């Protein structure tokens, strides 16, 4: 579909990232006019729309990027890392995720941008759930510098929205997966493909996830639906899986047999503590569920892909990567 000449322009920041590329593909397919903000234009190959280089997030110049824009979808961020190298991690996260976002928001106000969709994180809610899924109305309880910076950015954006005409919508995704995924999910794909025995056969947790194609459609809905203004949404695929069930589904998508060993949870947690990987083990054995009814009720949004369809596309990408 070709974008109409007079249609609104959507600015996507962090457009060359894992979620950003999928979002840009979806928006272009729907016929929207796109402007994509990247740190380095050399990394923008294949992106649809007008490319604008803005530099590093903590010192970005947003003036040219937001000029004439109707909606901003802000994905660019200093993301959670497993091996932190900054001497003061919280200060580093604040410089990018709070101060960098504030400069973008104030430039958006100056250029009369209508709406800013801020992609935050479920880490604003916390690290784990027990019997009750997280909701947008829960008291925030971020536990690490990344989550704290995202929470502070949300509060800052709400203050700007209250004082100006800028509409702000916040989206807090849980684990995002799909083609081009990295981190622990990519590691799990590799281990499952190699049929490495994994000690999670006795783990009966529940974790929410979202396929990046579903997240892209949710962000698109938040960008344009009138009812999204001022709202905070948690989003997911709508089917929560245990770690064991996820590995079985991944194995099926990869065409291999899952090799799960039933190690009791306390032993796994002890091993995590002894090895210095307690947080990583907690994510594998603990639960983290979100309640995504708000976006469904307000915007009529529903996931376009099932978990199995999302995992199948992810596995197909991974098989190509592994050749």
Here the CATH number for the domain that contains residue 106 is: 3.40.50.720
Task: Classify residue 183: in a domain, yes or no.
Answer: no
201, 263 Cβ separation under 8 angstroms? yes
Within-domain flag for 162? yes
Residues 205-257 pLDDT 10s = 999 999 999 999 999 999 999 999 999 999 999 999 999 999 999 999 999 99
pLDDT for res 317: 95
Strand, helix or coil at 59?
Answer: helix
Is 2 inside a domain boundary? no
pLDDT in tens, 90-140: 999 999 999 999 999 999 999 999 999 999 999 999 999 998 999 999 999
Host domain of residue 157: 9-172
pLDDT of residue 79: 85
Q: Which of 146, 211, 233, 305 is catalytic?
A: 146
Domain count, the chain: 1
> How far is residue 219's CA from residue 291's CA, in Å, rounded to a whole number?
17
Q: Tell whether 63 is covered by a domain.
A: yes
- Which residues 6+ apart lie within 8 Å of 270 measured at CB? none
In sequence order, what are the residues at sequence separation of 6 or more whose Cβ sits closer than 8 angstroms to the Cβ of residue 121?
A: 80, 146, 147, 150, 172, 173
Is residue 95 in a domain?
yes
Q: What pLDDT, in 10s, does the model give residues 287-309?
A: 999 999 999 999 999 999 999 99
Please tell me what DSSP assigns to residue 138. Answer: S
Q: Is 70 inside a domain boundary? A: yes
146 assigned to active site: yes
304 within domain boundaries: no
In a domain? residue 150: yes
pLDDT, average across residues 187-191: 94
Burial of 297 (0-12, 13-18, 19+ CB in 10 A): exposed
Predicted local distance difference test score (pLDDT) of residue 323: 60
Mean pLDDT across 51-77: 93
Judged against a pLDDT cut of 70, whether residue 4 lies above it is answered with no
pLDDT digits (tens, 9 = 90+) for 144-183: 999 999 999 999 999 999 999 999 999 999 999 999 999 8
């Amino acid at each position: 579909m070709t974008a109409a000449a007079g249609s609104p322009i959507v600015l996507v920041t962090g457009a060359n990232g894992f979620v950003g590329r999928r979002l840009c593909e979806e928006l272009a397919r729907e016929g929207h006019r796109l402007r994509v903000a990247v740190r380095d234009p050399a990394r923008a190959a294949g992106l649809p729309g007008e490319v604008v280089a803005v530099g590093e997030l903590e010192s970005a110049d947003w003036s040219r990027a937001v000029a004439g824009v109707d909606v901003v979808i802000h994905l660019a961020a200093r993301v959670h890392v497993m091996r932190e190298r900054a001497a003061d991690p919280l200060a580093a996260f604040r410089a990018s995720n709070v101060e960098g976002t504030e400069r973008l928001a104030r430039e958006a106000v100056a250029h009369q941008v209508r709406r800013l969709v801020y992609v935050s994180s479920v880490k604003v809610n916390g690290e784990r759930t027990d019997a009750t899924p997280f909701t947008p109305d829960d008291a925030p309880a971020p536990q690490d510098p990344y989550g704290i910076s995202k929470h502070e950015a949300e509060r800052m954006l709400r203050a700007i929205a209250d004082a100006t005409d800028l509409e702000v919508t916040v989206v807090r995704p849980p684990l995002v997966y799909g083609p081009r995924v990295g981190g622990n999910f990519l590691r799990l794909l590799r281990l499952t493909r190699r049929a490495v025995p994994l000690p999670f056969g006795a783990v009966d947790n529940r974790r929410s996830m979202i396929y990046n194609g579903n997240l892209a459609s949710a962000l698109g809905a938040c960008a344009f639906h009138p009812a999204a203004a001022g709202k905070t949404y948690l989003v997911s695929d709508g089917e929560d899986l245990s770690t064991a069930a996820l590995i079985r589904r991944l194995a099926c998508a990869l065409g291999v047999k899952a090799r799960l060993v039933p190690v009791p949870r306390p032993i796994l947690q002890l091993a995590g503590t002894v090895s210095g990987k307690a947080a990583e083990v907690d994510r594998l054995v603990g639960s983290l569920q979100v309640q995504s009814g708000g976006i469904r009720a307000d915007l009529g949004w529903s996931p376009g892909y099932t978990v199995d369809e999302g995992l199948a596309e992810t596995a197909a990408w991974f098989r190509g990567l592994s050749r």
